Amino acid sequence: MTDWEVVVGLEVHVELATETKLFSHAPNRFGDDPNTNITPVCLGLPGSLPVLNRRAVELAMTIGLALGCEIRPSVFHRKNYFYPDMPKDYQVSQYDRPICVDGILDLPNGTRVGIERAHLEEDAGKTTHIGGDDGRIHGAEEALVDYNRAGVPLLEVVSRPDIRSAEDARAYVEELRAILIATQASEARLEEGSMRVDANVSVRPVGSQELRTRCEIKNLNSLRALQRAITYEVERHIKLYEAGEEPRQETRHWSEEGRTHTLRSKEEANDYRYFPEPDLVLLDPDPQWIEKIATAMPELPAQQREKLVALAGIDMETAATVVGRGLAPLVSAAADFGADPGRAVIHAVQNLAIDGADKLDPAGFAELIEMEQSGALTATQSKQILVEMVESSLDPASLAQKHGFESMDLTELEDMVDAAIAENPDAWEKFCEGEEKVQGVFVGAVMKASKGQADGKAVSSILRQRSGN
């Protein structure tokens, strides 16, 4: 029986966080009404001419430098193909002279993945198929085209085929996403399509250096889909080889039913009839411009994780969660304002997996943590106020006053605990014998009696005092 090695290379399309599109002044904005963010340039109307977005170039170079790439003079080409969401019948992209080349991405587990290139290009529009099979083109009764996305600046980051498992592929995308968030180069929202992944998958016998026939799985829009699709495709290739057959080089689509489907045969470069874009000149960034971007580079995810581990005494996995959510700067800044970094991390992991959390005022965050640790707020109250702080930008003291949150009198709390003990004698006997799990009976009873105002930690402390444990 042959032992097989997985070979994966990823192409990640990243929408850059610019105010306008790559070659026009049309807004780069997600969620607007269809076909409202368009100009003659977006639609390729006769006489319209592209003007390169300087900010898009800056963000492309920022990502490239964060990945250790060399910034080189680059040329835009026309990539010719026909599809309804590409009104010009060509896409302006970079072909043989990309702006960023020869980088690396180190995964948290120590695996190093080479970056072949990262090149600028414009996005296509979006086609929505009505009817048919799962909204796909086959069998659809009609199609609607929205050109709002046409012309949005993309950076396509192309890895070398250095990835050896579906798990490492997922880790690669997570780390790249963390870099994008840290540099504020992209919102990198897979669910919104501002970050899309194509996976090139093949297998080979262990020990072989041959790159065998690969299949490309297009537009994977979640980490779960990425991992499942690669796993399925690897198993499919192995079954074909072991049956004496070979996979065809083709482009495939992942279905959430748990398998890939053939879309089309894999195109080659000559199928697109690349030629230099005649309306755009050579892009040759000034060395001083590049140096300025490099000097202003923020802390990258690897640095953020190490800093958090040292600051809060947490493990690397927890640090990775905080960094992945873009909350490392918030935790560090809150600590600078005097907050307990460990408690800040707990909130970041448990209560701040929400949109806008990275914009939370660190001084207010630190104040909330101090109010919680002083007993002015319970853990439940803190969680509620924290969510409202993200939504409203109000300070925690004002929100606590608004809700009438006040710390309970110790005597009143002790009376509630004693009442809970009296009402649950069997559970109390077990607790006194060392059965910690029954503590929830008393905490729940006190929380009910206090209408959620009691501090769970204070309740636990009183219980231990009463039991002598």
Give me the pLDDT at residue 137, please. 64
CATH number at residue 440: 1.10.10
Q: Are 268 and 120 found together in one domain?
A: yes
Q: For strands 215-220 and 250-255, give the pairing.
A: parallel
A 10 A CB-CB count for 464 gives 12
Residue 296 lies in a domain: no
Q: Are 157 and 69 found together in one domain?
A: yes
Q: List per-residue pLDDT tens for the chain, 469 residues long.
A: 689 999 999 999 999 999 999 999 999 999 999 999 999 999 999 999 999 999 999 999 999 999 999 999 999 999 998 888 888 889 999 999 999 999 999 998 999 999 999 999 999 999 888 876 655 666 778 889 999 999 999 999 999 999 999 999 999 999 999 999 999 999 999 988 899 999 999 999 999 999 999 999 998 989 999 999 999 999 999 999 999 999 999 999 998 889 999 888 777 767 889 999 999 999 999 999 999 999 999 999 999 999 999 999 999 999 999 998 999 999 999 999 999 999 999 999 999 988 889 999 999 999 999 988 877 787 888 888 999 999 988 889 888 888 777 666 667 778 888 888 888 888 888 888 888 888 888 888 887 887 777 777 777 778 888 887 6
Give me the pLDDT at residue 400, please. 83
- Asked if residue 174 lies in contact with residue 192, where contact means CB atoms within 8 angstroms, the answer is no
Q: Are 339 and 373 found together in one domain?
A: yes
What single letter denotes the amino acid at residue 240? L
**How far apart are alpha carbons 381 and 404 in whole angstroms?**
10
Cβ-based neighbours of 1, under 8 Å, separated by 6 or more: none
Q: Single out the residue in 403, 420, 446 at which a domain terminates.
A: 403
94 Rama class: left (phi>0) / alpha (psi -120 to 50) / beta: beta
Q: Single out the residue in 354, 375, 403 at which a domain terminates.
A: 403
**How far apart are alpha carbons 239 and 210 in whole angstroms?**
19
In a 10 Å sphere around its CB, with 0-12 CB exposed, 13-18 middle and 19+ buried, how is residue 79 labelled? buried
Give me the pLDDT at residue 417, please. 84
Q: Are 285 and 149 found together in one domain?
A: yes
Domains in the chain: how many in total?
3
Residue 103 lies in a domain: yes
Residue 217: name the closest of 180, 184, 257, 266 by CA: 266
- Asked if residue 343 lies in contact with residue 330, where contact means CB atoms within 8 angstroms, the answer is no
Q: Which two tokens stand for residue 380?
A: 């439940």
Residue 359 lies in a domain: yes
**How far apart are alpha carbons 378 and 447 in whole angstroms?**
11
C-alpha dihedral over 26, 23, 149, 300, to 10 degrees?
A: -110
**How far apart are alpha carbons 119 and 130 in whole angstroms?**
33
Q: Contacts from 346-353 at CB under 8 Å and sequence distance 24+?
A: 347/382, 347/386, 348/321, 348/322, 349/318, 349/321, 349/322, 350/383, 351/382, 351/383, 351/386, 351/387, 352/325, 352/327, 352/386, 352/390, 353/325
Q: Are 424 and 316 found together in one domain?
A: no
Q: Which two tokens stand for residue 246?
A: 């070979």
Cβ-based neighbours of 48, under 8 Å, separated by 6 or more: 39, 40, 41
Cβ-based neighbours of 445, under 8 Å, separated by 6 or more: 416, 419, 420, 423, 424
Residue 115 lies in a domain: yes
Largest CA distance in the chain: 86
**How far apart are alpha carbons 387 and 351 in whole angstroms?**
8
Strand pairing partners for 113? Answer: 105
Q: Are 286 and 433 found together in one domain?
A: no
**How far apart are alpha carbons 209 and 212 in whole angstroms?**
9
Q: Are 110 and 216 found together in one domain?
A: yes
* Whole-prediction pTM: 0.82
The DSSP 8-state label assigned to residue 302 in this structure reads H
Give me the pLDDT at residue 135, please. 56
Q: Are 133 and 47 found together in one domain?
A: yes
- Asked if residue 166 lies in contact with residue 231, where contact means CB atoms within 8 angstroms, the answer is yes
Q: Which domain holds residue 331?
A: 301-403
Residue 179 lies in a domain: yes
Q: Which two tokens stand for residue 459?
A: 């309740």
**How far apart are alpha carbons 51 and 277 in whole angstroms?**
12
Give me the pLDDT at residue 105, please. 97
Q: Are 388 and 422 found together in one domain?
A: no
Residue 376 lies in a domain: yes
The pair phi, psi for residue 405, each rounded to 5°, is -80, 120
Q: Single out the residue in 291, 313, 348 at which a domain terminates.
A: 291
Q: Are 153 and 212 found together in one domain?
A: yes
Q: Are 276 and 422 found together in one domain?
A: no
Residue 134 lies in a domain: yes
What single letter denotes the amino acid at residue 305? R
Q: Are 277 and 307 found together in one domain?
A: no
The pair phi, psi for residue 127, each rounded to 5°, is -105, 130
Q: Which two tokens stand for residue 217?
A: 């799985």
Distances (CA, A) of 153 to 125, 406, 430: 12, 50, 64
How many alpha carbons fall within 13 Å on the CB side of residue 248? 10
